[in-house]
Amino acid sequence: MQREDQRAANVLRPYRFVPDVAPQALASVLVSSGRTQVICAVSHDDSQPQWKKIQGIPGGWVTAEYSMLPYCTFPRKKRNANGKVDGRSVEIQRLIGRSLRSVVDMEALGERTLWVDCDVLCADGGTRTASITGSAAALAIAMQRLMQQGVLETNPMRQLVAAVSVGKLQGEPLLDLCYVEDRDAEVDMNVVMTERGEYVEVQGSGEEAVFTAAEMNEMLGLASVGIRELIAAQRRVIEKVCRERA
């Protein structure tokens, strides 16, 4: 099958991480995956969420917010009115938060909250997976900076995490679907994995077809290849930023 952008089935879209695009944030990364672009920015405050205080649970919290800017799609996406968040955005920001918390030691974080804002500048498929991947890089940079500032004694982030989409189109398993491929896919799946190869979450469904265990394993294998590449890229940008700040 000929893909729209001529990629092989097991090749990621061209991707890039640009750090510190939001100078007022503790850390930020603009992640690009093909035409999809998301700014992931980390802020913090020195207090626990109220629910943790009430329940007497020690440690901090990492939470995420996700939004698609009106001009990120064509036609224009209507801006959320009165601060209301649509159901899709709620689902995605919960996924981002779960993914990040899976690799953070909350007790080592201390009684503080890290907020991760993901703002989609351009949407061409894979905005949730790009948000997770960019957020993890930004969060790792933020943890390093909190340690440099003497706020943290040890790094609460145990490992990196990343995400990618896979799917089946015209019977063929594909890695990293763009919008057109995602729209037409018979099977669509989002995979979140740690750098140790552990699954955090797998969201998969047959849109217009069923899929076998063998096909699912093939798609998971493609996801694993892509995520290893993304984590290597995350590591490079984190190390570059930390060297420049040292």
> Predicted confidence band at 246 (pLDDT cuts at 50, 70, 90)?
low
Question: CA 71 to CA 203: how far, in whole Å?
Answer: 27
Measured CA to CA, the distance from residue 91 to residue 101 in angstroms comes to: 16
pLDDT in tens, 177-190: 999 999 999 999 99
Q: Where are the alpha helices (DSSP H) in 6-126?
A: 50-55, 87-101, 106-109
pLDDT digits 0-9 by tens, 85-127: 888 899 999 999 999 999 999 999 999 999 999 999 999 999 9
What predicted TM-score, i.e. pTM, was given to this entire model? 0.96
Domains of the chain: 15-245 (3.30.230.70)
Which residues have CB under 8 Å from 61's CB, separation 6+? Answer: 48, 49, 52, 101, 106, 109, 113, 114
Which of 180, 66, 68 has the alpha carbon at shortest distance from 121?
68
